[in-house]
Structure 1
């Protein structure tokens, strides 16, 4: 047989179409073929150039194009030049539209954007874990937002919640016995948020925490004197930095996160959409 050239044309990467081409050709006992993949075909002139190349060869065209104008151009060309062609998307898109009564977006590369969103979210979650609880102050510079506050002010849960919204969060506890790392003062206070809580709520949370650990509930960690000392110290640091302070007492994680997102927007910090 004549040398076969399978043209794969896509307005995205075209990986799926190429895999279909390879799966199909594997059903034949031949090695006299090649696959030419053309990715990100986004204008009529480019598409026309590729089609003109295809007509000069013993070709089959496999395509994943969502732009109906491009599909029409390709189909009309192949009809005139008698080139076999297979549309991998249109029939399925039309069938889904028929069954759902929804209108397809016909926007190239949507699945790639979804993949990018997924990996950005995974990266943000890994970042939150790596830079949780002040493990590495070098993360402050890389973070979209830095949360500071005393123990049991929801720093870690908030970091993870925001990470699931593709936001890179570092957090650090403030304790009177330890001066905050120098790196905290090297970044803009616009991306720092202070978290505090009411003494009563902290006493309740810390007491329950001690019980869960099998420790005495009257330990210094849960005493009002210690809690007031920590709150005073933390708020002094926050005022020195000049960052906003949120009292998380009686606030759900989602509510506090919403306030943080509003602060980020007001400060011009980029927020990726879900």
Structure 2
């Protein structure tokens, strides 16, 4: 397979550009790609400094530059070097201009402005970190979402991902020998979601966790029958309380979070109908 150089040129942090490139590359089988990342390119001088690198490692150039002069100069350099250059947001921005009936502002990094949404996201992250693993149950009513599940069912990473999307998330491990606080069953504001997984997969994840900590694996924590009982215990609790359930066995953290957000949106669209998925796993 031929190696390809991919240049990502952005006038902001480049986070959006990286996500687009990652999503597009995921459609190919193990492409041999060398990424060159050029963030915060906002001046002619800065752009001119990266041109030698474009010439030394010719390849595809993806860019998000809103300044017309900087953008035109990059496109001219690419023409001279014979490099394809793709403005990845142009089609979307143009479509939005038509639908919204106004022109885009053309200011770099507007999605990173420290507006109300930014501060809500920061607050959500602080809340989520402080309410991990059953801690701070007295404040659970302040949460947007509460994730419940047995140990190693991806509650914490999913919580952090959701927090970065602006949701206050608490999570609690369900332990057969230690009942959860009664507050869990009386929550009114938060959406409570149960996370479940295949016992066989859970044993594997737990075993790997113990090995990474240099701990022995001769424990009930990874006993197949004991784990199966834990999962059944959790699923009964989900069903008894009508909580929606998500099976994370074959889901990435992003996919699990997307499923949670979908349930959250459905709850918002149809208030009073939360928990309708409690009879089966998503």
In structure 1, the partner of 2:276 is none
Relative to structure 1, the CA distance from residue 104 to residue 239 in structure 2 (aligned partners, 3 Å threshold; closer, same or farther) is: closer
In structure 1, runs of 5+ residues without a counterpart are: 1-94, 270-274
Aligned alpha-carbon RMSD (Å): 2.6
Residue by residue, what CA displacement relative to the aligned partner does 1:77-123 show, whole Å, maximum 9, x if unpaired?
Answer: xxxxxxxxxxxxxxxxxx9355448854399xx78964322222111
Give the distance between the partners of 1:106 and 1:203, measured in 2 at CA: 52
- Which residue does the alignment assign to 1:166? 166
What pairs up with 1:74-223 in 2 under 5 angstroms? Answer: 96-97=67-68, 99-100=70-71, 104-105=104-105, 114-188=114-188, 191-223=191-223
User: Relative to structure 1, is the Cα distance of residues 243 and 111 closer, same or farther in structure 2, using a 3 angstrom cutoff?
Assistant: closer
In 2, distance between residues paired with 1:224 and 1:153? 15
What secondary structure sits across from 2:250 in the alignment?
coil
Change (3 A) 1:260 1:105: same
Contact 2:132/2:171 (<8 A) preserved: yes
| Partner Cα separation in structure 1 for residue 189 and residue 195 of structure 2 | 14
Residues 142 and 189, structure 2, Cα contact 8 Å, conserved in 1: no
5+ residue gaps, structure 2: 1-65, 73-89, 91-102, 270-282
Change in 2 beyond 3 A, CA 1:189/1:127: closer
Q: Deviations over 1:22-76 (max 9, x none)?
A: xxxxxxxxxxxxxxxxxxxxxxxxxxxxxxxxxxxxxxxxxxxxxxxxxxxxxxx
Residue deviations 1:154-206 (CA, integer Å, cap 9, x gap): 00000000000011100000000111111111113871000011011011011
Structure 1 contact 197–248 (Cα < 8 Å) conserved: yes
Measured after TM superposition, the shift of residue 264 of structure 1 is 0.2
Distance in 1, Cα, partners of 2:112 & 2:67: 20
Distance in 2 separating the partners of 1:111 and 1:256: 25
1:240 CA displacement? 1.6
- Between the two proteins, the alignment pairs up a number of residues equal to 174
For residues 248 and 155 of structure 2, what CA distance do their matches in structure 1 show? 10
User: What is the distance in 1 between the residues matched to 2:250 and 2:264?
Assistant: 22
Question: Could you tell me how far apart the structure 2 residues matched to 1:104 and 1:180 are?
Answer: 50
Deviations 1:211-269 (A, max 9, x none): 12222212110001110111111111111211011110021001111110100000018
User: What secondary structure, in the 3-state scheme, does the structure 1 residue paired with 2:147 have?
Assistant: strand
State the SS of the aligned residue for 1:179: coil
| 3-state SS of 1:152 partner | coil
Partner of 1:3: none
